Amino acid sequence: MKLVIREGWYYSQGDEDAFYGRLNSLPCVKSIRGHPYGIQITLRPPSEWQLRELLSLLFRYGLDMAPLAALKTERNARWFFQNRQAYWHSKVFGRARPRRRLGR
């Protein structure tokens, strides 16, 4: 699976090195390449802890988390998607829209 993430700002070379070092250390990350719209990350299916690490890494660096929605599966839906109180939920899946009342 390939995800394209818009890159943010790094505040020093060490900061950028730390981000890519952490990203490359995850066993689910097969490759990282530059892309016209950010970085393209090729992934193997992540385990729960690897997905949690991806969530925290993108959150920490203020990067676009919406592409991670593609990683929702039947197996992880309970903690990943259904947990609407989680810090990542609205950043990955968007804000829930209020239901419109029918009738009067």
**CATH class belonging to 2-93:** alpha beta
Using alpha carbons, select from 103, 55, 104, 44 the residue that is nearest to residue 79: 55
Q: Alpha helix (H) ranges present in the chain?
A: 13-25, 48-60, 77-80, 89-93
Domain ranges, ordered by start, for the chain:
2-93
Q: What is the pLDDT of residue 4?
A: 95
Instruction: Compute the distance between CA of residue 60 and CA of residue 55 in angstroms, rounded to an integer.
Output: 9
CB count within 10 Å of CB 83 equals 12
- Could you read off the pLDDT of 45-99 as tens digits, one per residue? 999 999 999 999 999 999 999 999 999 999 999 999 999 999 999 999 997 555 5
Strand order in the sheet with 38-43: 2-5, 38-43, 29-35
Residue 15 has pLDDT above 90, yes or no: yes
